[in-house]
Amino acid sequence: MKLTLGLVLAFVSSVSFAAGGSTYPLEQIEPDYSDKESLQRGLATYSHYCMGCHSLGYQRYERTATDLGIDPEIMVQAIVPSNKKIGDLGGIAMPPRAAAEWFGAPPPDLTLVARKRSPEWVYTYMKTFYVDPTRPLGVNNKVFPKVGMPHVLEPLQGLQRAVCAGSMVGDDPIAQVDSDSGQPMTESQCDSLEVIEGTAQLSAAEYDRLIYDLVNFLEYVGEPTKARAHNIGIYVLLFLMLYFVFAYLLKREYWKDVQ
Ligand code: HEC
């Protein structure tokens, strides 16, 4: 029993390690494909803040519009870039080579990111950027250490700073020393994050909602058939119920003469 538990734990920890390269605890969320309004808000956030760098290269705009119940004309006006058609795949204008030079890594396509990482990982990733003056872009990330992406939602979430366990001397988490060992504090001793006052446009709850919608949308994009499969499932059940009624009536009809 102990052995099984040990194996399970070893497996779980290796999976979470492989997923992020960090052991930072991920926040749990429940994506909900049936919440079309949430998916639409997520699409809006994606198109404002992410589409400049990240493509959705396996998804056609038209498919998104149909699945999310968006009028194709509104989709063309509000989302589809002017050099693209609604039937096109969601590419970006930025040449990948130049992007790799600017950021140290090319911004990856996001169509499958929620499947590759997990919705929880992407959600926590978008919430754990924090000030780190040693990084070229001035920010680091708790689930993606040394990330090459700027904190594009910083005006909304505000700037976060890492707070170390125990007493802090000054504001800078990097300069903190563990009073027991005399060594600099390790990364995991400075895991709690707090928003620096006056830097955020949204409240914490509003920001959580925004990120939830965004991740819900990315999760849908990773598996658009799921949203449809759900609908089809209901029709299949209705059909089976109806079929049962007819089958039953037919059975009664046949057996009437036998009995
Ligand atoms: C200015 C360009 C830029 C913008 C805008 C941007 N990103 Fe990124 N993003 C990057 C780069 C560059 C990387 C690669 C970072 C690395 O490998 O170090 C990245 C990485 C990521 C990753 C990690 C992917 C993986 O599995 O490795 C996710 C998730 C992500 N971005 C989501 C978003 C979302 C959501 C938005 C919109 C809110 C967004 N990004 C906006 C440049 C950008």
Contacts of 81 (CB under 8 A, 6+ apart): 51, 93
Whole-number Å distance, alpha carbon 149 to ligand 1 midpoint, is: 5
Q: What is the pLDDT of residue 17?
A: 44
Residue holding tokens 């924090």? Answer: 130
Among protein residues, the one with the nearest Cα to ligand 1's atom 37 is 50
b (16+ CB within 10 A) / e for 140-172: bbbbbeebbbebebbebbbbbbbebeeebeeee
Residues with CB under 6 A from ligand 1: 49-50, 52-54, 103, 105, 107-108, 110, 113, 116-117, 122, 125-126, 147-150, 152-153, 214
Amino acid identity of 49? Y
Q: How far apart are CA 227 and CA 220, in angstroms?
A: 7
Please choose from 41, 49, 54 the residue to mutate so as to test ligand 1's pocket, defined by most ligand atoms within 8 A of CB. 54
Given a cut of 50, the residues of the chain with pLDDT beneath it are 1, 3, 7, 9-20
Which ligand 1 atom lies nearest to the CA of residue 147? 18
Whole-number Å distance, alpha carbon 223 to ligand 1 midpoint, is: 20
Could you count the other beta carbons within 10 Å of the beta carbon of residue 258?
5
Q: What is the pLDDT of residue 11?
A: 47
Q: What is the pLDDT of residue 227?
A: 64
Q: What is the pLDDT of residue 236?
A: 86
Cβ contact 176:169 at 8 Å: yes
Q: What is the pLDDT of residue 172?
A: 67
With vertex at residue 36, the alpha carbon angle to CA 38 and CA 40, rounded to the nearest 5 degrees, is 55
